[in-house]
Amino acid sequence: MSTFLKKIVLPPLPMAGKDAQHAFFLFQFNLTRARLIRQRGSLTGVVFLPPGTTVPLPSGPRGKLQDVELPANMVGARLLEPAEWEGGVELSLESSEEELEPVARMALVNGEATLHASLGNPCLDSGKVFQVELPDGVPLLTPAVYLELTGALLGLGGAMDPLTGLLVGALPDSLRNQYRRFFFDLDRETEGTLGALYVSSDDWQLRLGDLVSVRGGLVERIKRRFAERQAGTHYAAIPCSSSVANSAILVSELLVGLLKEHFPDGAGGIDFTGVEEAFEMFANGELRLQLPAPYLAWTTQPSSNFYFLFAELALLCVENGIDTGVWEPLIPALVRTQLIYVEVYPPVDKATAQLGQGTGCAFVQGAAWTCSQKAKLRADFATMDTHALAEAAAQHALDNIGGMLIP
């Protein structure tokens, strides 16, 4: 049986003083089917904990932390005595069947969460950060810190790094950062965890209801047309309930406002060429932004195959007469970029993939489309009418989210 060696060099822990008595490192791997067979470290006092181990975490200033059982796709390494961390810690891991690719690290020093970091390309995806918590319930990267840091990097306000105490400077302005600002703004206005912080409480509760209603309607549309396509029947417009239609009006109003803000044409309208280029770059992984050390999470990239919902929303709006002048010109780009997305952020298994699955950690650097490939794709979809585009979107789902066939 083949084995694959993975050497990991942990950068120094800036908050770990020489008086630190305990540190706990946790690694998460992309491939849950990879079976860890041996771990070894270059430092004495390093004990490796295989998946399934119950880790008795040490006491800290907040008291005894809850013991944590490592999931099947995690392995921990715990330093049992003080160590010279200034030069980093080197670990070697071996696995069978698949090469292990670490996607996250978090560290507890004397029971206190100190930092987390990506150990390689392309993780940790910020879209998943908010779903992973330390044993004491403190997120690795809090949504509030994420909003402040990313907004500061993109020139949307100043922020102080809570770990270093330094002011975060904005990146040089560029077209790429303009596009990133749109997707970051879209996230903080619509994503559940971020929206609850960024949008006023009363407005968010109303908006959340509309977002949930529309997403449910879009999922049902995709599933219905998926089944029709699989059965060989042709596309027909899908009426939606009055409640979904009313919610779609409000969601469309929000998104159209963001498009006008971030892609102005100088005459009160939308620069559709810019919007199309932004979605091409977004699906192609060209807008990925890594937060500065020690966070190192990646953001402004697709976090799941809900990317397919962009096109479905445009189709729903056109079929129901909602902001047709905005959505109809965008349907070709939103449908064709699905093909870019599924190659650059491929599912583990197209035949069993479910709607809503996927992660930015699936990013494949070498799969990015070239300018000439994107130009040819534009030409291929340029003459399609809305009916043909809807059928193409259904076929893309059939080809790449095959788990919707599974009861």
Summarize pLDDT for 182-237 with one digit per residue, the tens: 999 999 999 988 898 899 988 999 999 999 999 999 988 888 888 887 777 776 77
- The tokens of 210 are what? 């509309």
Q: Which fold has domain 3-120?
A: Immunoglobulin-like (2.60.40)
What does the domain layout of the chain look like in residue ranges?
Answer: 3-120, 177-405
Q: How far is CA 332 from CA 112, 279, 384, in A?
A: 50, 11, 8
Per-residue pLDDT tens for 375-407? 999 999 999 999 999 999 999 998 999 887 654
Taking residue 349's Cβ as centre, other Cβ atoms within 10 Å add up to 10
Among 133-137, 259-263, 321-325, the least confident range: 133-137
Choose between 306 and 28: higher pLDDT: 306
Q: Is the pLDDT of residue 96 over 60?
A: no
How confident is the model at residue 17, as a pLDDT? 42
Q: Give the side-chain half-sphere CA count within 13 A for 248.
A: 28
Q: Is the pLDDT of residue 46 over 70?
A: no
How confident is the model at residue 250, as a pLDDT? 97
**Residues contacting residue 165 through CB under 8 Å, at least 6 positions apart:** none
Q: How far is CA 288 from CA 179, 227, 303, 354, 386, in A?
A: 11, 34, 11, 24, 30
Q: Is the pLDDT of residue 89 over 60?
A: no
Top-confidence range, 240-249, 273-282, 299-308, 364-373: 273-282
Query: What are all long-range contacts of 141-147, with beta carbons under 8 Å and residues at least 24 apart?
Result: 141/116, 141/291, 141/295, 141/297, 143/193, 143/194, 143/197, 144/197, 145/295, 146/194, 146/291, 146/297, 146/299, 147/188, 147/194, 147/197, 147/198
Burial class (CB in 10 A: 0-12, 13-18, 19+), 34: buried
Beta bridge partners, 95, equal 4, 36
Per-residue pLDDT tens for 299-339? 899 988 999 999 999 999 999 999 999 999 999 999 999 99
